[in-house]
Chains A and B, each alone.
Chain A
Amino acid sequence: MTALAIIDHGAGNLVSIGQALERAGADVRVADRPADLAGVSGVVLPGVGSTGTTMERLTSAGFAGPLAELDVPLFGICVGLQLFFDTAEEDGSRCLGLIEGSVERLQDTPRLPHIGWNDLEILRPDPLLVGLKERPTFYFVHSYAPVPSDPDVVVAVAEYGMPFPAMVRTGRRVGVQFHPERSGRNGALLLANFVAECGEAADAA
């Protein structure tokens, strides 16, 4: 069974993510300190709230270094993805710096926050998107989105006012701006694909 850790930084909803991963066959543990990451085949970094507050909690729990050095797949969700980048415009905070770029407020939107179901325009194939139909819908709830320095890391975009990166990958680091744990069957499939990716990475190691 694939052992996965979900990082607990004190605010988010871990219930739905944990259940979805377990349904896909993972053995899930909640990690509230870096030692909990030992021996896992993959890590999920969820997020709700502001990047600054979440980053502070991660740093004070000692996660920043271990996440940068992680050699297993890392999956960021919403603010979890935003933390992959260098800086957040919201409060000027430093993030994990795993992928070059910043996190900026969505521009030219009809309303803000962007709340609801929106569809993905898939720019390139990705293991997490296997089995999804064209333009699958997912649930979004956010006001900020990543702006990567290298556009080639963007796997899929969504459009709200203008297109913004909704899924980003560099190697084993992958993240989505939407909430797969709240996105019905599409989300369950995506999370199951992450469990499979972790299993395959562990087998290959």
Chain B
Amino acid sequence: MLRRRVVACLDVRDGRVVKGTRFIDLVDEGDPVALAARYAAEGADEIVYLDIAASPEGRATLLEVVRETASQVFVPLTVGGGVRSPEDMRATLRAGADKVAVNTAAVQRPQLLTECARQFGRQCVVLAIDAGRTGQDRWEVYVNGGRQPTGIDLVSWARAGTEHGAGEILLTSMDRDGTQEGFDVEQLRAVSGAVEVPIIASGGAGRADHFVEAVVEGGADAVLAASVFHRRQLEIGAVKAAMAAAGVPVREVA
């Protein structure tokens, strides 16, 4: 039986893990390779690196971190941030990523998803979407690291993105990100009900039962968190135990 994944996310800038409320008040949280290794040992089912600098120099540094991680950490690795072309994607996969997340560039040119899927298979093309609520059951897509609203409707974009070739959606609730008040279950339900691909829930994790809600009520296939893990506020093992106790299938922590 397929297990629901607990995913540890590391925002990386200039070779270091940083975390604020995603884009402001950044605090240095450590060495990405060491943190990724720790999470893998603690039972993380997948690691996500998001390059939040995404400058040309930062990009080279990030690929070096990916290479180092791939040679030491043997769980799946998804890498995003600043991917604008199939060539960027190829370089990221070659460095050792299993999946590559695209965000702003896909909104600007959805054909990018098709090109990447054709070359590398849709199973490794992750569409990352940052969305903020605009009304009852309505959310708007933001780009450029959550700084720029687009006026595009979340559910329509999720559908269009998967039609263009995305094989998975990493959905971040901008309203919940950094709040530790729980995932946006309504938002998750809206997207998981609209597309066929797996959904990674992101933004708002604070307690173990939030992870359970995201899966059971939101229909998420994977649940992602960052700072609650970095600060040891929550242990991955405890999250998985809570999920298992609620009847959600998880991979045993080795």
Contact = CB atoms under 8 A, between A and B. Distances in A.
Interface of A: 10-16, 19-20, 48-50, 53, 79, 110-119, 137, 139, 141-143, 159-160, 179, 181-185, 187-188
Contacts of A111: 196-198, 221
B interface residue count range (under 10 / 10 to 19 / 20 to 34 / 35 or more): 35 or more
Contacts of A116: 2-5, 45, 198, 221-222
A103 B221 CA distance: 25
B124 A141 contact: yes
Contact of A15 (B45, B71, B120, B222): B71
B2 A183 contact: no
A15 B76 CA distance: 13
Contacts of A118: 1-3
A14 B97 CA distance: 10
Q: Which of B3, B4, B71, B121 has the most CB of A within 10 A?
A: B121
Interface stretch (B50-58, B88-96, B178-186, B202-210): B88-96
Contact of B121 (A79, A117, A139, A188): A79
A115 B71 CA distance: 22
A49 B97 contact: no
| A contacts with B: majority SS | mixed
A48 B93 contact: yes
A48 B120 contact: yes
Interface in B1-49: 1-5, 40, 45
B121 A49 contact: yes
B99 interface: yes
Q: Sorted from nearest, which 3 A-B pairs have the closest CB atoms?
A: A49-B121, A15-B96, A113-B123
Contacts of B40: 184
Given A116-B222, A139-B76, A49 B71 contact: no
Contact of A143 (B45, B75, B123): B123
Given A139-B76, A182-B75, A16 B96 contact: yes
